[in-house]
Amino acid sequence: MKLATVRRDGGTRLFASNASDRLFDVLDAAGDDVRSLSGIEDVGSLYRQGQEVVQAFRAIVDANQSSQVPSFPLGELDLAPPVIWPKAIVCIGRNYAAHIAEGDSPVPEFPLLFSKYANTLVGDGDPVVDHAITKELDYEGELGVVIGRRAQRVAEADAMSYVAGYTVINDISARDLQLGDSQWIRGKSLDTFCPIGPVFVTADDIPDVDALRLQTWVNGELRQDAPISDMLFKIPHLIAFITEGITLEPGDIIATGTPSGVAFGMKPPVYMRPGDRVEITIEGIGTLHSRIVAPS
């Protein structure tokens, strides 16, 4: 099942599809079942309602897939982030060998965690601000993992059962701030620094996440191209490592790290400027589009 958070009538609504690229408003389709879906305004709030509601939601999507409910291609929808208010966005640094090499960074012995705040989240097609306080705006295409149920001290063998599904993330980074400050918060968490989407795809639709491929284009030029299987620490290990001491809640996001090909690794680096376009594709999920704009 594919889900998208859509801006509509001053709020957001959850659109879905399990068969085609045309999505429909599930609340509109729900009819008399509408009470069970009240308060669901994004993927996070759906999963916070618990598995029973998720199943009810899925049943409505199944029942209406071939009905006369109006449906829309993604390109016609105003997309918000699939998850609007995650409690945590846990990011993994240095999780692909070739990216570690391009940054002359040491290979981590265990996952390197940092975080982004929810102020960073923007949807597909939304502008990313080239803030005046940075001269080194960079992109990082990443697979995003969305947690489906409370995860606390999860064993690696059980970890995948806590994954609701996947999305595409651009871990926008201000390199001068990231490397100039002693912590990464400013470098990673300025407003608009986490484009995410265009959609969320449930885990059952992606039986082998390692088989996916990630590609990033800047102004149409291919910059990143790597299989997800190149990850140093795999998703089950990441979930086990994080939840040893940090409880993850439904809707929380793990940004799993970026492969090589970021601007920082180019000689000389070609950082992003207003007017640039970034597209990140993960096959089976979709393409996340961003455009860089000057601060207003």
Measured from the CB atom, the residue of 64 and 258 that comes closer to Mg ion is 258
Give the amino acid at 254.
I
Q: What are the structure tokens assigned to 163, written together?
A: 């994954």
How far apart, in Å, do the first and last CA atoms of the chain sit?
38
Name the minimum Å distance from CB 255 to Mg ion. 6
Q: Which stretch binds Mg ion (CB under 5 A): 138-146, 179-187, 214-222, 228-236?
A: 138-146
Q: Is 260 in the site for Mg ion (CB under 5 A)?
A: no
DSSP state of 34: G
Supply the DSSP string of 192-213, one letter for each residue. T-EEEEEEEEEGGG-S-GGG-E
Measured from the CB atom, the residue of 42 and 140 that comes closer to Mg ion is 140
Name the minimum Å distance from CB 237 to Mg ion. 17
Contact 98, 214 (CB under 8 A): no
Instruction: Report the alpha-carbon distance of residue 256 to residue 65 in Å, rounded.
Output: 32
Contact 99, 171 (CB under 8 A): no
Name the minimum Å distance from CB 166 to Mg ion. 16
Q: Is 138 in the site for Mg ion (CB under 5 A)?
A: no
Measured from each CB, the residue nearest to Mg ion is: 171
Measured from the CB atom, the residue of 3 and 121 that comes closer to Mg ion is 121
Closest by Cα among 20, 9, 231 to 1:
20
Residue 11, helix vs strand vs coil: strand
Name the minimum Å distance from CB 261 to Mg ion. 12
Name the minimum Å distance from CB 43 to Mg ion. 21
Give the amino acid at 204.
D
Residues 70-109 that bind Mg ion (CB under 5 A): none
Measured from the CB atom, the residue of 3 and 93 that comes closer to Mg ion is 93
Q: Which stretch binds Mg ion (CB under 5 A): 33-41, 140-148, 200-208, 233-241?
A: 140-148
Instruction: Report the alpha-carbon distance of residue 275 to residue 254 in Å, rounded.
Output: 29
Q: Which stretch binds Mg ion (CB under 5 A): 133-141, 215-223, 234-242, 283-291?
A: 133-141
Contact 90, 252 (CB under 8 A): yes
Contact 239, 246 (CB under 8 A): no
Q: Which stretch binds Mg ion (CB under 5 A): 97-105, 112-120, 121-129, 166-174?
A: 166-174
Q: Is 140 in the site for Mg ion (CB under 5 A)?
A: yes
User: Which residue of 5, 167, 215, 258 would you call a contact of Mg ion, by CB under 5 A?
Assistant: 258
Instruction: Report the alpha-carbon distance of residue 60 to residue 76 in Å, rounded.
Output: 22
User: Which residue of 171, 252, 276, 279 would you call a contact of Mg ion, by CB under 5 A?
Assistant: 171
For residue 91, CA distances in Å to 184, 254, 264, 287 come to: 11, 6, 18, 20
Q: What are the structure tokens assigned to 99, written together?
A: 């990216």
Name the minimum Å distance from CB 21 to Mg ion. 28
Measured from the CB atom, the residue of 94 and 289 that comes closer to Mg ion is 94
Name the minimum Å distance from CB 227 to Mg ion. 17
Name the minimum Å distance from CB 56 to Mg ion. 35
Q: Which stretch binds Mg ion (CB under 5 A): 26-34, 76-84, 105-113, 254-262?
A: 254-262
> Which residues partner with 151 through β-bridges?
248
Binding site for Mg ion (CB under 5 A): 140, 171, 258
